Amino acid sequence: GQNIDQPTEMTATEGAIVQINCTYQTSGFNGLFWYQQHAGEAPTFLSYNVLDGLEEKGRFSSFLSRSKGYSYLLLKELQMKDSASYLCAVRWGAGSYQLTFGKGTKLSVIP
């Protein structure tokens, strides 16, 4: 199977830092994506990791450990508009462009 696990819900305070974890099956791994999705809207691309390490992009960072089948998305200086679902998606198989999405983590940012 191609299981992707991430927490269902998280709550964090405005201005704080939150880390959303994602684990996946390592066999055939070929890239991991994070998307943000507001309710009733399509996902928007946040980050892409295919090599181990941290990718930083403004307030958002994403980390990958291929050997552990583990990634996290780090959101800094949280804003109310960051309240959304965060989807971890994995691509398996060389030459494949298909993505398998996790169930998403609903993040609620509170004042």
Which residue ranges make up the site for another protein (CB under 8 A)? 31, 33, 35, 40-45, 48, 50, 87, 97-104
Question: Closest CB to another protein among 5 and 77?
Answer: 5
- Shortest separation between residue 97's beta carbon and another protein, angstroms: 5
Coil, helix or strand at residue 57: strand
CB of 70 to another protein, least distance (A): 19
Cβ proximity of 10 and 77 under 8 Å: no
**Tokens describing residue 85:** 């679902």
The structure tokens listed for 52 are 């181990």
Query: Any idea which residue has 């980390």 for tokens?
Result: 63
CB of 95 or CB of 111, closer to another protein:
95
